[in-house]
Amino acid sequence: MLTIITGHYGSGKTTLSLNLAVNSAKSGKKTAIADLDIVNPFFRTADSLPLLEELGIEAIIPYGANSNLESVYLPPEVEKLFRYDGNAYLDIGGDDDGAIVLGRYAEKIAAAGYEMICVISRYRPFTKDPKDAAEMIASIEATSRLKVTGLVNTSSLGDDTDGETVLASACYAKEVSRLSGKPLLYTAVKKDVLATLSDGEKETLGDILPIEIYTKRLF
Amino acid sequence: MAEKVLMKGNEAIAEAAIRAGCRHFFGYPITPQTEVSAYMAKKMPKIGGVFLQAESEIAAANMVLGAASAGVRTMTSSSSPGISLKQEAISYIIGSDLPCVILNIQRGGPGLGGIQPSQADYFQATRSPDHGDAHMLVFAPASVQEMVTLVTDAFDLADKYRMPAMILGDGALGQMMEPVVFEDKEITPPEKPWATNGHENKRAHNIVNSLYIQPDELERIVKERFEKYEEIKKNETRVENFMTDDADVIVVAYGIAARVAKSAVRNARAAGIKAGLIRPITLWPFPAEAIKEKADKVKAFLTVELSMGQMVEDVKLAAEFKAPVEFFGRTGGMVPTTDEVFNEIVRLNGGNK
């Protein structure tokens, strides 16, 4: 199964990709993750290489990631993910700029069959208006020449995220889903935040994916 | 209440500038500050402002010189090598007594260096922003929220003192994401009767200029400017004291280094060491008094920087040899870790006691 993770930058694509890959590996499936972010040189999948290695997840990292190179380039191993006998996750760069990378592989991806997730966050300035989020989804589809198959609500305020933060994003996610015509697959919620929610509150969110933050901290 | 959003440092700076009334942004992309330009490019056309990507850093900085002459709130941004290119225009801006905001999201140097965070432009910002006798205000935010506050204050104080203000950040602060709140604040930039914005035959010509034909006149102008600098040192110096009241070892650090140092100080306190942090918020004027006050009370100062040691010279000058001033730093794009700083604190305390 090939899963592509797209969305506005800074909305949690890498965090979601890592969680999906880790869950897949922990369930015993052969798993690969590819960092296809050609836009932002900072905070990327390559930061989590030790974790991926520990879990036996095959990581395909662009040449130059986490170095002083600003334009990374993609290794040929990406191609094998289009005929992969396990779960493969493609972590894509932000916005339609980042989705350009998919255009190059669009025919092969379409032939292989895929799910394309678009993450949405009501706390990022350029997607907090559902109309803007719906526009972003359309622009990602246009440049990638692929179809977004579902949305994941990743609304977060970083360290300040609490139950209220997540609950307040439920209506937003539904509205983006309505405007874009894309199904809302689930809401990604940090495990410690999830523990503070009552069953009734959880119900208002629909399906939930408990997640962990794997990004390294400087202090 | 104003809504909380999650933003990159670079995005927050751009939004704060717009909210401070900046409608004239001139830039040229360079990692790790490109998001400032990207944000301005998206927002400015929607609010009737100007976003202009110039043909070079030199051109962008000179466009700021022109816009500032006309009396508008204007800004340019870059990262280390790009700031070097802007220095000629910065000198003309200082020499013409013009207000503007300049952002430096520092990266590793010298030369093209690298794209990872650095604080190695401290000397450039505080000692030699240009040629000639001159200073600019230099603010050092340590969080995304503080970037918002200081960008607003930078515009206000630049206008008040008719001089450029620099926000000195680094690649980590520019790129990292934190929750941030923008207060709904009415901005009324002051009248600028000196601006060259059209006299309409109602007043005399205004002239904005940095050339003086007579050396004694230039000396007088420079001396007046330095009297203003003394006033600024008295009124605008800013510093954060964290757990310094009873501290035996005081770390002095700004920006991202101060975030790391604060965690190290907390860990040291947990280990029973009386550690504290002095965080300069303005680098020029430098909070020398805050250091001097503590110099006869501490075992040692530890200056932590993402450089080979630059601010440490100001700390030594301020400490007046009353206490040892030591230095710990990483450079070239490397960031000191909390553990590294903690170990230095333990060493200067004379062990873990």
pLDDT in tens, A51-88: 999 999 999 998 888 888 877 788 899 999 999 999 99
Q: How many Cβ atoms sit within 10 Å of the Cβ of residue B115?
A: 21
Query: Is A125's CB within 8 Å of B5's CB?
Result: yes
For residue B338, the distance in angstroms to the closest alpha carbon of chain A comes to: 6
Mean pLDDT estimate for chain B: 96
Interface of A with B (CB under 8 A): 10, 41-43, 68, 70, 121, 123-126, 128, 156-160, 218-219
CB-based contact, B263 to chain A, within 8 Å: yes
Nearest-angstrom CA–CA distance, B46 and A58 = 44
CA–CA separation, B274 vs A74, rounded Å? Answer: 50
> What range does the domain containing A97 cover?
2-211
pLDDT at A75: 87
- Total count of domains within chain A: 1
Task: State whether residue B199 is helix, strand or coil.
Answer: coil
Domain with residue A94: its CATH number is 3.40.50.300
Q: Please count the CA atoms within 13 angstroms of the CA of B57 that sit on its side-chain side.
A: 19
| Cβ atoms of B298 and B275 closer than 8 Å | no
The interface predicted TM-score (ipTM) is 0.93
Compute the distance between CA of residue B213 and CA of residue A80 in angstroms, rounded to an integer.
Answer: 72
* Residue A216 predicted with pLDDT over 80: no
Look at residue A216 and tell me if it is in a domain: no
C-beta atoms of B260 and A68 within 8 A: no
A217 inside domain:
no
CA pair distance B148, B164, nearest whole angstrom: 17
Tokens of B225: 């400017």
Residue numbers in B near A43 (CB within 8 A): 175
CA dist list (Å): B102 to B81, B318, B339: 14, 27, 34
Nearest CB to B4 within list A42, A43, A160: A160
> What single string gives the DSSP state of each residue in A56-87?
T-EEE--BTTTSS-SS-B--GGGGGGGG-SSE
Q: Which amino acid is at B41?
A: A
Cα–Cα distances in Å, from B146 out to B12, B151, B154? 10, 8, 12
Query: Among residues of chain B, what percentage have pLDDT more than 70?
Result: 99
Is residue A218 a part of any domain in this protein? no
pLDDT in tens, B214-269: 999 999 999 999 999 999 999 999 999 999 999 999 999 999 999 999 999 999 99
Q: Structural domains in chain B? A: 4-236 (3.40.50.970), 240-349 (3.40.50.920)
> Does some domain include residue A182?
yes
**Cis before A41 (ω within 30):** no
B342: closest chain A residue by CA:
A219
Query: Considering the domain boundaries, does residue A34 fall inside one?
Result: yes
Distance separating alpha carbons of residues B328 and B306, to the nearest angstrom:
9
Residues of A in contact with B177 (CB under 8 A): 10, 158
Please list every residue in chain A whose beta carbon sits closer than 8 Å to the beta carbon of residue B338: 219
Confidence (pLDDT) at A44: 85
The answer to whether the Cβ–Cβ distance between B256 and A218 falls below 8 Å is yes
Nearest to B278 by CA among B330, B324, B306, B315: B315
How far away is chain B from the Cα of A68, in angstroms, using its nearest Cα? 5
Residue pLDDT, tens place only, B95-130: 999 999 999 999 999 999 999 999 999 999 999 888
Look at residue A139 in the predicted model and tell me its pLDDT: 97
